[in-house]
Amino acid sequence: MLLSFLTPRHIILLLSSLTVFLWIIWSGRVSDLQTSITNYVRPEEEETSLIINNNAVDPSQLCTPAMFNDGQWVATHLLDPYNATVEDVQRVGQYTCKEGFQHKCYMRPGKEFLRSAKMVNYKWQPNCHLLNFHSHLFSSQLLANPMLFVGDSITELQFESLKCLLGEHFDTAKRIKNTKHHTKTLGLQNKTAVEYIRSDYLLRLDTWKVQQEGEEPGPLLGIGYNVPWSVIYEPRQDHLISEIATNKNYGYSIVGCICFPDIVIL
């Protein structure tokens, strides 16, 4: 055989040549690999999109408080207002009203009901994208972070509307009777999620000063209430919404504005 004619010296030279040959090949591949790594351009990752109603939405196009008011009212024709019933309005509005409420709204007969039935055929369509509303998630959020409404009859109407919107997930609203203030609460198993306190004025109308606890409210216009802010702003609520409307019939006007953390003055 060929190997029988090779001396140890020849074998060493052959192995050395083979080693050099393999090293040259390996070096070339490493060089090519380094070049490939150097020239490699990582593809740009596509921006993650949100899926809303089976449509991909750019997160930058989600509505903000500033963007939400830019839009238009859109007619939906979900029901015939002239042949609609109270149950039809509740179904379209996704309302669950477990008991009667102060303003009644669509439960009023005649022209008032017709107006409400026409209103539910319209929805606000902002020029931005809104996340879908899930009443059960919002209800859980309010149980963990309660909300307090403070204001006049307009604020009470907002409370009642929210009460009907979330009524499926909460107990029947309660009126607090162990207090001299006009107060209503909404929650679950004695845990408050939303509360309303009737207070028509932010300040005393005679001195334009904040009413102190234990102090008489002073003069009031019409049938109104005035509650000390020390009573209103307590740690039991995480968010407070206050709305004081103007009513020319009674001479109402906004006479002051008090700012606290997490208070929205409408």
Encode pLDDT of 217-226 as tens digits: 777 766 677 7
- Can you give the pLDDT at residue 21? 47
* DSSP-derived secondary structure letter, 173: P
- 231 band by pLDDT with thresholds 50, 70 and 90: low
- Can you give the pLDDT at residue 49? 62
With beta carbons less than 8 A apart as the criterion, state whether 215 and 228 touch: yes
- Look-up of token digits 């049938």: 223
- Can you give the pLDDT at residue 104? 72
Beta strands (DSSP E) in the chain are 50-52, 55-57, 71-75, 122-126, 147-151, 174-175, 183-188, 191-198, 239-243, 263-265
> Which of 9-13, 142-146, 147-151, 226-230 shows the lowest per-residue confidence on average (mean pLDDT)?
9-13
On the question of pLDDT at 37 being above 70, the answer is no
- 73 band by pLDDT with thresholds 50, 70 and 90: very high
| The dihedral formed by the CA atoms of 221, 232, 266 and 136, expressed in degrees to the nearest 10 | -130
* Rounded percentage of the chain residues whose pLDDT exceeds 70: 59
- 126 band by pLDDT with thresholds 50, 70 and 90: very high
Phi and psi at residue 237, to the nearest 5°: -115, 140
148-192 pLDDT tens trace: 888 887 888 888 888 888 988 988 777 765 455 677 888 888 888
- Can you give the pLDDT at residue 146? 87
Residue 264 has which token pair?
Answer: 């929205």
Per-chain mean pLDDT for the chain: 72
76-124 pLDDT tens trace: 888 999 999 989 988 888 888 877 666 677 778 888 889 888 988 998 9
Residue 85 has which token pair?
Answer: 């019933």
> Which of 30-34, 46-50, 71-75, 228-232 shows the lowest per-residue confidence on average (mean pLDDT)?
30-34
> Which of 81-85, 86-90, 209-213, 247-251 shows the lowest per-residue confidence on average (mean pLDDT)?
247-251
Give mean pLDDT, residues 10-30: 56
On the question of pLDDT at 75 being above 70, the answer is yes
